[in-house]
Structure 1
Amino acid sequence: MPPVQPNPKNKTSLTTFLRRAPSAPAAAASSQISSDPFEPLARSTPVRSSPAPVERPAPRSLAVDIPPSVLRPIAFRVFTKKHNLTLKSDALTLLCQFIGRRCGAEWRDSGSGEKLLDEVARRWKRAETAGKILVDGGDALKAVLKGMDVPGGDATGRSPLSRTSSTLSIDGGDIPSSMLLGGVQDTEMPEAEREEIEDAVDPAEYFKIVDAFEQPKMVYNMNKKLFERGPKPSLFPPPTAKTTLFRTRYNVIHSRILRNDSFLAPTYSKSSNANPKSFYKLTSISALLGRSGQNFLLFGMLQYSPSGILSLYDPTGEIELDTKLTQPLPDENANWFVPGMFVILDGMYEEDGRFTVYTALSPPPERREASAEIFGHVDFLGNGVSLDMSSPSGGGQQGSMMRKVELALTHIRWVAIGEVTLDQPKTLEALRKLFEKYSKEPPMLFILSGNFSSVPVAPGDNNAIRGYKENFDALASLLVEFPMICMNSTLLFIPGDHDPWASAFSGGSTAAWPRKAVPEVFLNRVKRVAKHVKCASSPCRLGYFTSEVVVCRDDIVGRLQRTQIRFAKPAQDDEMEVDGAGVEPTQSATQVDDDTKLARKLVKTVLDQGYLSPFLGNKRPVLWDFAHTLGLYPLPSALLLIEPFAAPFAVTYEGCHVINPGKFTHRRKARWIEYSPSDRRGEVIEESF
């Protein structure tokens, strides 16, 4: 379907449009769920299910009195363990009355009481009391409970959080409940309704490019266990900012691990035969003293000591590691381990003060939906869209409306191009082929990444600077031939290591991150030709309705391969023979090529660390006060990781879709990524030119 041309006369606001009554839902499509966390490279249809049958409302349950001593373990698990809040006794008494009145006698067996407590905690953190970790029974908690419109739960386990009213009021108007997200995800949207949304909503009004040097600084407060707005970052911070960088990374990942189900200690056991050691427990390095000969799980940062010995560091101390018996989990090809990464190590503390490592693994990531339950009230991009709006069950009516429109705009496309070396003639030929393909149906966004020159722009070299300007003038001359693209598409330029002015100090080698945008003085002629031209830093972030897309240009694969820590292979691997014949590889291993294995290894390494540059400062310099712009917590909706030295790929891991267009030109072929923001999936396209 061709993109709809913007028309200011027929555009209406999002809230005004969604007050209209929707059409009847169409039949649902079939869906398949894969157990493999890495989804296949091909584009997939969004998961949809058939509409739920109409149920008659169950009779309201009778209210019961819940003793505070009975509710306290569950409230402690939800408020303290999960949401990092502290309940006072008067608040616990108020919650006992509220849950007993709403959920009835089956509040525990049906699970409705725990779900209701979780909803209260999330609303407390989104309300005006956000930032207060002490929950008392005052007017603030009473206002939260009063604003919750929930029916009583029943013995069938039905969630008590479903709304009973047919319409909900927003800005003085009524919106049918069928317009909310549940109806959008569970049913196929009618084509007539989809076309009506496409005609009425201009997606450019809900699209924002967030430069790294303009991104708000959200600081994780370890004491309060929440994110707070930090001071404006500076290029010349105090020396303490360097240590704060690594300490913040440690605290964020450590709290993320403790929220994982494998590390949560049960508050009570349903069976007397339950194993009390059914969860994992992390131990600090300082707590190992005097406990030799015992096994422990340690968490910290890998780094070589001044004497050249691999060691583990955490805020309490350091310890030397013995990796002769170390086996990476799940296997050695799953991810890289380099100095500067945070890892979980399982081993034994020896009498001589060393720690013998048996297994090493990356910290488990946390899905974006799980992060939204805890920090849903935080606006990480500063565009007015909180994190819980991207969650299927959060964000209120406004979030549901935005997600509905985002799903309806299926004709919107973004095109991401890898290394575009404009000083090479074959690059301009490939660009002509690309623009010809989209000349009649231009996408909403073109992302062009550097290096825009095959050689770095040297400082003081007037010829190099003049040639760099002429390269963009040649691009402008090419764009003149495609007026539809110039009028309807946004051109976003992301710098590389050879682009000014970072190359003036690095000479094309590793420069400090984040990297400033390409100076707009070089794109004056491009701006006169194209209507929408933007230059952004590397990395930068794109906000589109409820989605967050991180765009990053970096040669990370080579740096990981050069600095990786190699563990000794077990001896039995070389002796794995049966009756003189070698063991045949599994079928799944033979079906995955080397490029796909490399892509999965890269994606898992970066997302597990939750950081775009998990290296030490001598390998990858970082502007200390802008390190928050490199963070990947919470996980974005999609990550555009532009790595020219890796083959193009599109991989999904823990709900985050990672795409790489690779190098733009390769053996007389042009390669790029076509990304669909509605279903958050990318497709690798390759054509000869």
Structure 2
Amino acid sequence: MDPTTTPGHPNRFKMGPDASDPVPSSSPGFGTPARPLRLARVNAPPTKTSILPILLPPATLRPVAFRTFTRKHNLTISSAALQTLAVFVGKNCGSGWREEGLAEKALDEVAKAWKRAGGGVIVDEGKGASLKLILQTLESSMSGGRVVAGKGNAQDGTGRLSALVVDATGRMTDANNESSLSTRAGETEEDDSKLPLHPRHWLKVVDATDLPRLAYNVDKKYFEAHKSKPTLFPPPSRKIALFRDRYNLVYQRLLRNESFQSSLGVAGMPSLQRSSSNLGMQQSYKLTPIANLLGRSGTSHLILGLLSISPTGDLSLVDLTGTVTLDLSHARMIPEDGAWFAPGMIVLVDGIYEEEEMVQGSMLGGNHGVGGAIGGHFVGVSICGPPCERRDISLGTGTRQGAGDVSSSGGFGWVDFLGTGSERAQGARMRRIQEKCIREAAATAVSSNESIESSSPARLKVAILGEVNLDNMKTLDALRKVFSTYSDLALCDRPEAFVLIGNFVQTPIINGGGRAGSIEYKEFFDSLALVLSDFPTLLQHSSFVFVPGDNDPWASSFSAGAASTIPRQRIPELFTSRIRRAFATANNEIDKSHSTEPPGEAIWTSNPTRLSWFGPLHDIAVFRDDLSGRLRRTAITTRLPEDDNEPEDNIMQEAPSQSPSQNAVDLDEANGSKPVINGGASTSTSTTASTNSAATARKLVKTILDQGTMSPFPVHVRPVLWDYASAVQLYPLPTALVLADAEAAPFCMTYEGCHVMNPGRLLPPGDAQIVKWIEYDVLRNRGRVKEERF
């Protein structure tokens, strides 16, 4: 008998590596039975401790949730999410949620899972990560109120939470139970490796009717989506909401400006105190509501209001509290001749209020009249537009942390303005994808032995052609010249997209033309299809975007070429079938088996429209309208005395919000020497004409961007569909804006970080055989006017 075994228990308590149990008998020599004790295995799961669920009020859990989510992870919990978390903690942590710290550990895991899944800054059930799915996954990995390492399918110390992944389509899935829900894209390198890496895969043309309908909530100081369904025949209250939303948007933007924020050092000083010294002291300006002018005759005030024409024909200023007659006969524009001011615009007016001294009937001067109008009039001393706000400031991305992440201070970085994802949810991931796409494109160009230098920067170009009148035979020759110029270039130097902007006919032939007009209009696009068919390489490797004008169907059927309602729909497919056939024929000729490049396509979109490249990184707004001519016709003028050469002592002259605006307008330079105005290459153009064109371009750009909308006019001057008014707003500023104005000369300039371009006419006025267009570099955010003879 083996001396190490116990009699009656052979091999059961055998010592050594072959022993089934390492615990021997208490006394092998005397044959005593084995002990009932067993050593715990190192990897054995602990015994599941029963938890007695409790009813935990959300208010009791709030301090712990605030300490964990807000202070530690910079997240905000909604009331509904707090109630869901209270039920979860009470069920899984029981009475030890506070004393044993179980709740704080569980909430910390929830916060980490929420951020890994790409959830927003507000923890709530919605379009972001699913809180219910996270809690369901976490609950299966808990034992005794704690998250058990190694439980479930994950072995990374976080339980099954690692099974929550984000696939290439931007949907969060649970690999264990195959449940999925929509979420924002993830931020892991593994997910990005499976995505397409051609730049045109990330080009999205957003129709005006597909843009999110957002309105600024004054109480919550945040943007909210309209809950009502849009319609072409909304109630009259929507028209009032249109201008109210515009005013609230400009008002909150103005209060975010540092010139209107009072500091502790000047809190006790009068807000409208004027200083004649040049000490450079920081002043804080205060706005006065119109209703507060009553009983304050002879005092100076600063008012933010909407310029309008009263029923009596007088110019008036309107805000949310009332209306007052405006006298601008002695006002000075700031800057001098630097912007247009027309009815329908929101302006800042500094002046003096004067009450009426005469009594008419039973109504005393100074009381509220019809429509909230107050008696007296406001004598303007100076008038200017509201200061513009840069895109990075609006989104709260002006300051970045050391690791490159977006800071959590201020801004609307979590708002999805285009429906392509917000800056804070997808910005970092899209930047990684953009870098990979550019590196992949450069590697492909080098491997294909294309004539590019290894040190040359990657290019992502868009060709913008304005006023493409297809009923002019010279236009087809000009287009053939432009297409042949790019067709002869290497593949990496060709534009990824061509933007063709109407009017595609010079006169609205659809109006009164009946069926013959429609047939003639279709023949013009058939002629364009023949021209495009001669350049199959462009059709295979580029996207063509068509933006209509006021003369195109079907708006011209009832407007006769006048200003139609905006946003207006795309050109019907009835007229575009031949062009689509040309693209299909060209794409069938290439071998798609080994190519990751998407096929070329023709995209017909609305006016205005948005081009989004790499989600929120590049936002290009395109709008076709003769804005400069409409501004000249409707703008107001001020009459100053000829002998008044001394500057007015008013608070608006030294407003720091104006000097940055003037300095922010920079004309791009061609070859680093001359400003790009009228192409910058025509030697026959006089210096005076070039200067006038530059001044007009500056006025147009400053006027539109300061107003924050593409249509700063009353609805009877430029009709806007009330339920789609958010499609014409320019807040936050896009990275680039195409103002296709056929009445203005071509230009490219940058204002407050927004690059504004006007392609002008494809064929400039005159008999010269010259074609002009704009080539825009998306990565550098710069465009230049190009010119060729044909």
Counterparts of 1:612 and 1:462, CA distance in 2: 34
Counterparts of 1:568 and 1:143, CA distance in 2: 66
* 8 Å Cα contact 2:544-2:602 kept in structure 1: yes
1:235 aligned counterpart, secondary structure: coil
Q: 1:549 aligns with which of 613, 617, 620?
A: 620
For structure 2, list consecutive stretches of 5 or more residues without a partner in the other structure. Answer: 1-58, 83-102, 114-161, 167-192, 274-282, 357-375, 397-410, 442-457, 584-599, 648-674, 676-686
Structure 2 counterpart of 1:473:
526
Q: 1:628 aligns with which of 714, 720, 726?
A: 726
Q: 1:449 aligns with which of 491, 501, 523?
A: 501
Q: RCO higher in 1 or 2 (8 Å CA, sep ≥ 6)?
A: 1
Identical columns (%): 42
* 8 Å Cα contact 1:91-1:141 kept in structure 2: no
Q: 2:207 aligns with which of 207, 211, 215?
A: 211
Q: 1:514 aligns with which of 567, 590, 596?
A: 567
Structure 1 counterpart of 2:422:
386
Tell me, yes or no, if structure 1 residue 288 matches structure 2 residue 293.
yes
1:265 aligned counterpart, secondary structure: coil
Identify if the C-alpha distance between structure 1 residues 533 and 130 changes in structure 2 by more than 3 Å, giving closer, same or farther.
farther
* 8 Å Cα contact 1:551-1:640 kept in structure 2: yes
Identify if the C-alpha distance between structure 1 residues 143 and 260 changes in structure 2 by more than 3 Å, giving closer, same or farther.
farther
Tell me, yes or no, if structure 1 residue 350 matches structure 2 residue 369.
no
Q: 1:371 aligns with which of 366, 371, 394?
A: 394
* 8 Å Cα contact 1:380-1:387 kept in structure 2: no
- 1:377-427, Cα deviation, whole Å (9 max, x unpaired): 0111112x20347xxxxx564254245457767332110000001111110
Counterparts of 1:170 and 1:573, CA distance in 2: 75
Identify if the C-alpha distance between structure 1 residues 407 and 596 changes in structure 2 by more than 3 Å, giving closer, same or farther.
farther
Q: 1:223 aligns with which of 219, 225, 231?
A: 219
* 8 Å Cα contact 1:674-1:685 kept in structure 2: yes
- State the Cα distance separating 1:671 from its structure 2 match: 0.5
Structure 2 counterpart of 1:567:
638
Counterparts of 1:556 and 1:525, CA distance in 2: 32
2:734 aligned counterpart, secondary structure: coil
Counterparts of 2:104 and 2:64, CA distance in 1: 14
* 8 Å Cα contact 2:499-2:544 kept in structure 1: yes
* 8 Å Cα contact 1:222-1:251 kept in structure 2: yes
- State the Cα distance separating 1:276 from its structure 2 match: 10
Identify if the C-alpha distance between structure 1 residues 287 and 508 changes in structure 2 by more than 3 Å, giving closer, same or farther.
same
* 8 Å Cα contact 1:207-1:542 kept in structure 2: yes
Identify if the C-alpha distance between structure 1 residues 486 and 342 changes in structure 2 by more than 3 Å, giving closer, same or farther.
same
Structure 2 counterpart of 1:341:
345
- 1:637-683, Cα deviation, whole Å (9 max, x unpaired): 11011011111111100010001100001232100011111111111
* 8 Å Cα contact 2:198-2:437 kept in structure 1: no
- State the Cα distance separating 1:229 from its structure 2 match: 1.7
* 8 Å Cα contact 1:414-1:674 kept in structure 2: yes
Counterparts of 2:550 and 2:72, CA distance in 1: 46
After TM superposition, the structure 1 = structure 2 runs for residues 517-596 of structure 1, keeping only pairs within 5 Å, are 517-530=570-583, 531-545=600-614, 546-572=617-643, 593-596=691-694
* 8 Å Cα contact 1:476-1:526 kept in structure 2: yes
Identify if the C-alpha distance between structure 1 residues 317 and 438 changes in structure 2 by more than 3 Å, giving closer, same or farther.
same
Counterparts of 1:647 and 1:386, CA distance in 2: 35
* 8 Å Cα contact 1:413-1:445 kept in structure 2: yes
Identify if the C-alpha distance between structure 1 residues 130 and 590 changes in structure 2 by more than 3 Å, giving closer, same or farther.
farther
- 1:194-235, Cα deviation, whole Å (9 max, x unpaired): xxx9x9711122111110112121121111111112133211
Counterparts of 1:170 and 1:369, CA distance in 2: 35
- State the Cα distance separating 1:347 from its structure 2 match: 0.7
Give, as a single letter, the amino acid of the residue that structure 2 aligns with 1:260. N
Identify if the C-alpha distance between structure 1 residues 505 and 351 changes in structure 2 by more than 3 Å, giving closer, same or farther.
same
* 8 Å Cα contact 2:271-2:285 kept in structure 1: no
Identify if the C-alpha distance between structure 1 residues 170 and 405 changes in structure 2 by more than 3 Å, giving closer, same or farther.
farther
Structure 2 counterpart of 1:155:
none
1:246 aligned counterpart, secondary structure: helix
Identify if the C-alpha distance between structure 1 residues 676 and 522 changes in structure 2 by more than 3 Å, giving closer, same or farther.
same
* 8 Å Cα contact 2:272-2:301 kept in structure 1: no
Identify if the C-alpha distance between structure 1 residues 591 and 518 changes in structure 2 by more than 3 Å, giving closer, same or farther.
closer
* 8 Å Cα contact 1:123-1:144 kept in structure 2: no
- State the Cα distance separating 1:272 from its structure 2 match: 11
Structure 2 counterpart of 1:611:
709
Tell me, yes or no, if structure 1 residue 423 matches structure 2 residue 476.
no
After TM superposition, the structure 1 = structure 2 runs for residues 49-68 of structure 1, keeping only pairs within 5 Å, are none
Q: 1:253 aligns with which of 245, 250, 254?
A: 250
Give, as a single letter, the amino acid of the residue that structure 1 aligns with 2:716. N
Counterparts of 1:215 and 1:443, CA distance in 2: 26
Give the structure-1-normalised TM-score.
0.69
- 1:420-455, Cα deviation, whole Å (9 max, x unpaired): 011111101100100100114432111111111111
- 1:486-541, Cα deviation, whole Å (9 max, x unpaired): 11111111111110000001011110111111112111111111240111000011
* 8 Å Cα contact 2:65-2:104 kept in structure 1: no
Counterparts of 1:131 and 1:515, CA distance in 2: 41
2:387 aligned counterpart, secondary structure: coil
- 1:256-278, Cα deviation, whole Å (9 max, x unpaired): 00010000111x23999999962
Counterparts of 1:121 and 1:520, CA distance in 2: 54
For structure 1, list consecutive stretches of 5 or more residues without a partner in the other structure. Answer: 1-87, 99-116, 133-137, 149-168, 174-196, 390-394, 577-587
Counterparts of 1:380 and 1:301, CA distance in 2: 25
Counterparts of 1:609 and 1:130, CA distance in 2: 37
**After the TM superposition, which of the residue ranges 207-216 and 255-264 deviates more from structure 2?**
207-216
Counterparts of 1:130 and 1:603, CA distance in 2: 45
Structure 2 counterpart of 1:45:
none
Give, as a single letter, the amino acid of the residue that structure 1 aligns with 2:573. E
Identify if the C-alpha distance between structure 1 residues 259 and 131 changes in structure 2 by more than 3 Å, giving closer, same or farther.
farther
**After the TM superposition, which of the residue ranges 275-284 and 653-662 deviates more from structure 2?**
275-284
After TM superposition, the structure 1 = structure 2 runs for residues 14-33 of structure 1, keeping only pairs within 5 Å, are none
* 8 Å Cα contact 1:295-1:348 kept in structure 2: yes
Identify if the C-alpha distance between structure 1 residues 283 and 458 changes in structure 2 by more than 3 Å, giving closer, same or farther.
same
Give the structure-2-normalised TM-score.
0.60
Root mean square deviation of aligned Cα: 3.7
Identify if the C-alpha distance between structure 1 residues 416 and 120 changes in structure 2 by more than 3 Å, giving closer, same or farther.
farther
- State the Cα distance separating 1:550 from its structure 2 match: 0.5
Identify if the C-alpha distance between structure 1 residues 406 and 593 changes in structure 2 by more than 3 Å, giving closer, same or farther.
farther
Q: How many residues align?
A: 516
Q: Greater Rg, structure 1 or structure 2?
A: 2
Counterparts of 1:506 and 1:537, CA distance in 2: 17
